[in-house]
Amino acid sequence: MVLPHVAVVVPEIDADANFSGQITVPSAGTEVTGPAVLNDNGFLLIGHPDNTDVCWVMYSGQTKSDGYPISADRPLVLSARDLSDFDFDAGFSGEIICWIKI
């Protein structure tokens, strides 16, 4: 049996100094704008394992009541091109959101 030719397309990842990073929420209840990092394939967001509680991601200008909760055991694949279009918040000061390009 001959299998048909199948093309596998693997997206190119821009593996530069902005391949991954962290967003720190210095003051709970005050949204932090994401960094100006671009990636056509989106990002994986996850709460840092040392965080106390969940963090929140929401479109710029919204509040965490409109946001999506993320934590170390509840990651989010964000299908967006620019992290600076989003704000981040947390229930405790100093919480960290980790991100990596996908």
Separation CA 25–CA 30 (nearest Å) = 8
Question: Over the chain, what HEC string results?
Answer: CCCCCCCCCCCCCCCCCCCEEEEEECCCCCCEECCCCECCCCEEEEECCCCCCCEEEEECCCCHHHCEEEECCECEEECCCEHHHEEEEECCCCEEEEEEEC
Q: Which of 4-13, 67-76, 79-88 has the lowest mean pLDDT?
A: 4-13
Tokens of 79: 């299908």
Would you say residue 6 has pLDDT above 60?
A: no
Given this model, what pLDDT does residue 63 score? 87
- Given the candidates 3.30.420, 1.10.10, 2.60.120, 1.10.3470, the CATH classification of the domain at 20-101 is 2.60.120
